[in-house]
Amino acid sequence: MIPFTRFMITKRWNFKKKGDKMKRDCFTLMELLIVIGIIAILAGLLMPALNKARGQANKIACRSNLRQIGLAIQNYTDDFKGVFPRVAVMKSIETDPEIPAIQEVLAQQIGGENSKVFRCPSDRGISGIVGVFTDEEEDSDEVTSTNFNYAGSNGKSDFENEGSSYEFNTWLAGRRMTNRSRSMLMHDLRPYHGPAGKIGSCNYLFADGRVDDWK
């Protein structure tokens, strides 16, 4: 009888005549379990690196969004003699219905109030901390501290709830900018990019157009 080979999936089956019996070579169950275990270990080692890379990409995209919003705010202030718009902190907590949200004010400059520019890629509806701007000096144009309070997200993203993943520094609302290098305009509504209170967990837009961490 002429020997022949046959491939099935990833296994090679060799049939050889040995006396009156046919001998078959294949993977044992133990070998298969070892291979599966090795694949699982490799996947476990790679996943943190992949998640970190994805998080970094989302943070870069978030910064790009804030830069575009910064350009729109600059165009607005140029049209209104350097005065910032009077807008609500968040739509859900604003008591005066006449005060618009920042995305409504910038709708013409940025392509509609529901523009994806106002959505951080890492905004996925996780309950956590919402950042609130505070200023220790009433007559200062510089925001010198940031406080945080807790708020839920009812399972939806902040973009779905508020129309924006970013919060405008309403302390500047209706005021004229004098110090563009240190005054903060907007930031992530929550620490989307890391643990709360850790440098790098939020992106901040400054009046001079740069987007950076809080330092």
The answer to whether 144 touches 137, Cβ cutoff 8 Å, is: yes
Structural domain contains residue 85: yes
Closest CA to 188 of 155, 211, 161: 211
Residue that wins the pLDDT comparison between 203 and 81:
203
Mean pLDDT, the chain, whole residue set: 75
Structural domain contains residue 17: no
The pTM for the full model equals 0.68
Structural domain contains residue 14: no
Structural domain contains residue 102: yes
* pLDDT tens by residue, 93-131: 777 778 888 888 888 778 766 688 999 999 886 654 444
Domain that residue 50 falls in: 28-212
Structural domain contains residue 193: yes
| pLDDT of 160 strictly over 50 | yes
User: Given CA atoms 194, 198, 200, 206 in this order, what sign does their dihedral have?
Assistant: positive
Residue that wins the pLDDT comparison between 215 and 68:
68
Identify the burial level of 41 via C-beta atoms within 10 angstroms of its C-beta, where 0-12 means exposed, 13-18 middle and 19 or more buried.
exposed
Structural domain contains residue 13: no
User: Given CA atoms 58, 59, 64, 68 in this order, what sign does their dihedral have?
Assistant: positive
Structural domain contains residue 145: yes
pLDDT at 64 (0 to 100) = 94
The tally of domains found in the chain comes to 1
| pLDDT of 80 strictly over 70 | yes
Task: Kindly state the average pLDDT of the residues 129-139.
Answer: 44
| pLDDT of 61 strictly over 90 | yes
pLDDT at 91 (0 to 100) = 73
Q: Look at 17-31, 85-99, 161-175 and tell me which has the smallest mean pLDDT.
A: 17-31
Closest CA to 105 of 173, 158, 9: 173
- Residue 68 to residues 14, 26, 56, 71, 164: CA-CA distances in angstroms? 64, 60, 19, 5, 14
pLDDT at 65 (0 to 100) = 94
pLDDT at 87 (0 to 100) = 86
| pLDDT of 47 strictly over 50 | yes
pLDDT at 142 (0 to 100) = 44
pLDDT at 215 (0 to 100) = 64
| pLDDT-based confidence at residue 5 (cuts at 50, 70, 90) | very low
pLDDT at 154 (0 to 100) = 64
Structural domain contains residue 90: yes
Task: Kindly state the average pLDDT of the residues 129-156.
Answer: 47
